[in-house]
Copies of this chain bind each other. A is one copy, B any other.
Amino acid sequence: MQEERRLAVLRAIVEDYVATEEPVGSKALVERHGLGVSPATVRNDMAALEDEGYITQPHTSAGRVPTDKGYRLFVDRLTTVKPMSAAERRAVSTFLDGAVDLDDVVQRSVRVLSQLTRQVAVVQYPTLSRSTVRHVELVALAPRRLLAVLILSTGRVEQRIVELGADLSDEALADLRSRVNSVAAGEIISTAVTALRALAAEPPTADLAAYVGPVVEALAEAMSDHRSDERIAVGGAANLARYGDSFDSAVRPLLEALEEHVVLLKLLGEATTGGMVTVRIGAEGPYEQLASTSVVATGYGPTNDALATLGVVGPTRMDYPGTMTAVRAVARYVSRILDED
C-alpha cells in the first residue's frame, strides 16, 4: 500500500515544515518520523506527491514545502482531533468565566484565543439579526429629548438619543413605553421592526402621534444598524512579529486587513454551526493579497444557533490541528457563557 505511505509522507512533511519553518528533505524525514523505509523510497514518494501538486520545492535541490493543495488534503484527511490539555481547558474556562458583560466576554475570548494559538484572533460581536428584544426602556432626559435603551437577548444594549418635536408628558411617556414593549418585547428583531413601524403608522392615541414616529425610527435604526453587525475585536497582533521573514508579502497586507473590519468579516466567512470549523487556506480566500494567510473559523452562539463568527488568522504554515481545536473549544465555551445569562 504505497498510497497509504505517501499520505504518511505528506503528513510528515506538513508537520515538520510547520515545526521547523524550513523545507524538509528526505533524510531528515525518515529520521524524525518512524517511517520504516529508506530516504530513497521517500524521495520517490515525494516526486509523486509533487507531480500531483501537493508539495513543491522552493528551488531545485532544496527540501519540499507543502502547497495550499497539500495543506488542504492534510486538513481534510490527515488531521486527527487533538484534545486540549487539561491545563488549557482550565485556563480557558477560568479566564472566560471572569467576564462581567458582553463586551468583556468578547475581549477575553480574543485574548485567550490568541494566546492559545499564538496567532491573530478575531471575534465578531453577536449579530443583532437573530436575537430577540428583551426590553425597551425610554428615559426622559429633557422635555424634548429622551434616551431609548434597547436590550437584546444576547445581552447587548444599544442606546439612542431621540429629539422630539413637542414636549413630552410623563403619562405619555409611560404609555408609549408600555405600548412599545407590548409589541416588541420577546420578538425577533425583524418582526419587532415591522410591528413598531405599524405602531408608528397608526398612532393609537392622538397624544402619542407627535412622539411615536421619532422614537420608533430610532429603535428601528438601532435594530437594523449594520454598523454593529460589523463590530469586531482583534487581538494578538504582536504574534505577527514572529513572521520575521516575508514581511512585506505577508504581514503588511494582513495588518491592513485587521483594521478594515469589513474585510475581516468577509475573510471570516459564513458562520458554521455545530462544532464545524471552517478552514480556508491561502489562495482559497477572497483576497489576492492574503494569498499566504489562512483562516480557521467557526460560528458561535447560544444553543449552537450561530450568532456570529470567531476565529484565527495566520500564515498558511500553521498548526492546523492545534488551531482547530483551540477555535472549537473557545467557541464552545463562549456559547455556553452566552447561554447562561
Contacts and interface: CB of A to CB of B under 8 A. Distances in A.
Interface of A: 100-101, 104, 134-135, 137, 139, 141, 147, 149, 151, 157, 159-161, 227, 235-238, 240-241, 244, 247-248, 251-252, 255-256, 258-259, 341
Given A149-B137, A157-B159, A341-B161, A252 B238 contact: yes
A interface SS class: mixed
Determine how many copies of this chain the complex contains: 2
Contacts of A341: 161
Contacts of A247: 241, 244, 247
Contact of A252 (B157, B236, B241): B241
Contact of A237 (B100, B161, B255): B255
B238 A237 contact: no
A58 to B, nearest CB: 22
A315 to B, nearest CB: 16
A235 B255 contact: no
A101 B222 CA distance: 11
Given A237-B237, A237-B258, A139 B147 contact: no
Given A137-B139, A238-B258, 10 more contacts: A137-B149, A141-B151, A149-B149, A157-B157, A157-B159, A237-B258, A237-B259, A238-B252, A238-B256, A241-B247
B241 A259 contact: no
A252 B141 CA distance: 47
Contacts of A101: 159-160
A301 to B, nearest CB: 19
A161 B101 CA distance: 9
Contacts of A147: 135, 151
Contacts of A236: 259
A141 B134 contact: yes
B251 A235 contact: no
A281 to B, nearest CB: 23
22 contacts: A101-B159, A101-B160, A135-B141, A135-B147, A137-B137, A137-B139, A141-B151, A149-B149, A149-B157, A157-B159, A161-B341, A235-B259, A237-B255, A237-B258, A238-B255, A238-B258, A241-B247, A241-B248, A241-B251, A241-B255, A241-B256, A244-B247
